Amino acid sequence: MLSFAFKRLLAAIPTLLVLITLAFFMMRLAPGGPFDLEKPVPPEVRANLDAAYGLDKPLIVQYASYLGDVLQGDLGPSFQYVDYTVNELIAQGFPVSLKLGFSAMIVAVFFGSIFGMIAAMRQNSATDYGVMTVAMTGISIPNFVVAPLLILVFAVAFGWLPAGGWNGGAWQNMVLPVIALALPQVAYVARIMRGSMIEILRSNYLRTARAKGLPMRQVILRHALKPAFLPVLSYLGPATAGIITGSVVMEQIFSIPGLGRFFVQGALNRDYTLVLGVVIFYGALIIAFNFLVDLLYSVLDPKVRAQ
């Protein structure tokens, strides 16, 4: 187990290095730079700006010095938000995205699993079709359509909840974005859960359990739930990483100061350090989540543990 974990961590280093290198050079390939404005700055000021950010040095030197800084945990100053460093911006944006994303994922897993189970247990019944139709609708309607509708109904028309803003993560501000973010995830989880549950219900050991006369409730909760949840778990790794690294569109619609907006604004403004910082952070996070899921898998699945 330990050596497995160690190997996985070791393998993450070259992955991150490749990621940093690709991101660094791709960013520089994009036309225009952070100081290219509509009304160009005088050449002397431009030279000062370039010097201040080290852009006057050869690209390879910049790359080496950036890599050195990253190794020390310093992601550099932001080109766009000049009062802040990239570390500070990530430290400010990430907890917001994390709280929002996790809440959405918990809601999605809870409701998705229940709906999936219900559908599987009443396979091909009206309930099954009903649940799965709702799920398909949830997947098909993009959340940038659902979100404004939620705002119009619950914030503008009824005035029950705020139309936007974060307010330090108050629950009132979280309800609508969490619903909008969770809806498609609920649908995905429900579909995966239904599929795997149907498969498990048909397996021999479950038939045995039922033949022994165990009540259905116990059969499902004690014997079927855990193995049926495994495919959901492998979906959850990348999905959670995706959702907590910031949903740009949701953050925009609900005016939430998460990480996703930094990424997009950074790219549009050629804020090299901010984009790179966020990419590295995302990369590390996705690797970490996949790693976590693998660990959880071995806890839940005896077959994996045996290997």
Partner 1 sequence: MRSALGALFLVCALGSVATVSSAAELAAEQVLHKGNGAEPQTLDPHKAEGVPSSHILRDLYEGLTSEAPNGDIIPGGAASWTLSEDGTVYTFKLRPEARWSNGDPVTAMDYVYGLRRSADPVTASKYAQILAPIENAESVVAGERPVEDLGVTALDDFTVEIRLKAPTPYFLGLLNHSSTYPVHRATVETFGDKFSRPGNMVNNGAYVLDDWVVQSHIVLKRNPMYWGDANTTINTVYYYATEDQSSELKRYRAGELDYTYDVPVSQVGWIRDHLGDELEVSTYLGIYYFGFNVTQPPFKGNLKLRQALSMAIDRRVICEKILKLGEQPAYGFVPPGITGYESQVAGYADMTRDERFAEARRLYNEAGYSEDNPLQVEIRYNTHENHKKVSLAVAAMWRAVLGVDYTLINEEWKVFLQTRKLKQDTQVFRAGWIGDYNDPYTFLELMHSKHGINDSGYNNPEYDALLAEISVQTDMDRRAKLMEQAERMLLADQPIMPIYYYVEKGLVKPYVDGFVPNIMDHHYTKNWRILAH
User: For residue 191, what are its two tokens?
Assistant: 């579909």
Per-residue b or e along 82-113, where b marks 16 or more CB atoms closer than 10 Å to that residue's CB: eeebbbebbeebbebbbbbbebbbebbbebbb
Neighbouring CB atoms inside 10 A of 176's CB total: 24
Q: Does 248 bind partner 1 (CB under 8 A)?
A: no
Residue 45 binds to partner 1 (criterion: CB under 8 A): yes
Distance between first and last Cα of the chain: 10
Report the SS3 class of residue 124.
Answer: coil
* Distance of alpha carbon 6 from alpha carbon 2, whole angstroms: 6
Taking CB under 8 A as the rule, does residue 27 contact partner 1? no
Task: Tell me if 68 contacts partner 1 by CB under 8 A.
Answer: no
Closer CB to partner 1, residue 32 or residue 68? Answer: 32
**Whole-number minimum distance, CB 182 to partner 1, in Å?**
19
Quick count: other Cβ atoms within 10 Å of Cβ 63?
16
Contact positions with partner 1 (CB under 8 A) in 69-88: 77, 80-84
Distance CA 266, CA 271 (A): 5
Q: Does 31 bind partner 1 (CB under 8 A)?
A: yes
| 110 Rama sector, left if φ>0, alpha if ψ -120 to 50, beta otherwise | alpha
> Contact between 44 and partner 1 (CB under 8 A)?
yes
Binding segment (CB under 8 A) for partner 1, from list 114-122, 192-200, 202-210, 266-274: 266-274
Nearest distance, CB of residue 270 and partner 1, angstroms: 6
Return the SS3 of 77: strand
Distance CA 250, CA 258 (A): 10
- CB 74 to partner 1: min, Å: 15
Contact flag: residue 130 with partner 1 (CB under 8 A): no
Q: Please report, as residue ranges, which positions from 172 to 211 form the binding site for partner 1 (by CB under 8 A).
A: none
CB 181 within 8 A of CB 101: yes
- For partner 1, how many residues bind (rule: CB under 8 A)? 51
Does 266 contact partner 1 by CB under 8 A?
no
Nearest distance from residue 163's CB to partner 1, in Å?
A: 4
Verify binding: residue 270, partner 1, rule CB under 8 A: yes
Query: Does position 30 bind partner 1 by CB under 8 A?
Result: yes
Q: Is 244 in the site for partner 1 (CB under 8 A)?
A: no
Using N-to-C axis directions, what is the helix angle for 86-121 and 126-140, rounded to 10°? 160
The SS3 of residue 1 is: coil
Residues 148-177 that bind partner 1 (CB under 8 A): 148, 151-152, 155-156, 159, 162-166
For partner 1, the binding residues (CB under 8 A) are: 30-33, 35-42, 44-45, 48-49, 52, 77, 80-84, 89, 92-93, 148, 151-152, 155-156, 159, 162-166, 251-258, 261-262, 265, 268-270
